[in-house]
Structure 1
């Protein structure tokens, strides 16, 4: 994904059946693989990372088998990064 500086990435983590996964760990990595931020999903499977700098990122969710979503931040705005976790 490509977003502008100060961008927000948010999404929902769901299991294979499509149900939200609460307390799933979601990690934001920079292009070098360094951890930028970590959070856990709420009761609705939702997570968010705010005020991101320009760059390439990967969002990884774990709770079942880990799932990764690459994204690019290039300016202000918002981007969804929903993930489905399998068993």
Structure 2
């Protein structure tokens, strides 16, 4: 089986020095979540309770450590997404 987009993305994040991704899983990023699960030794995923918290947590992580972090956007086709 060839490289998946999620595997390439996680590998690239790891190459850039990103060791943590903050986010909220959703239908649109299930492939990325699977990539994070399979590559948990390279990049860890931290679940947030609200998607707006992910960028703040990634920024705080980067400012208080010498490590890089990235927020992960959730994408969902549910009607509740209309409120954001």
Q: TM-score, normalised by structure 1?
A: 0.25
Larger Rg: 2
Compare the two structures and name the one with the higher helix fraction.
2
Compare the two structures and name the one with the higher strand fraction.
1
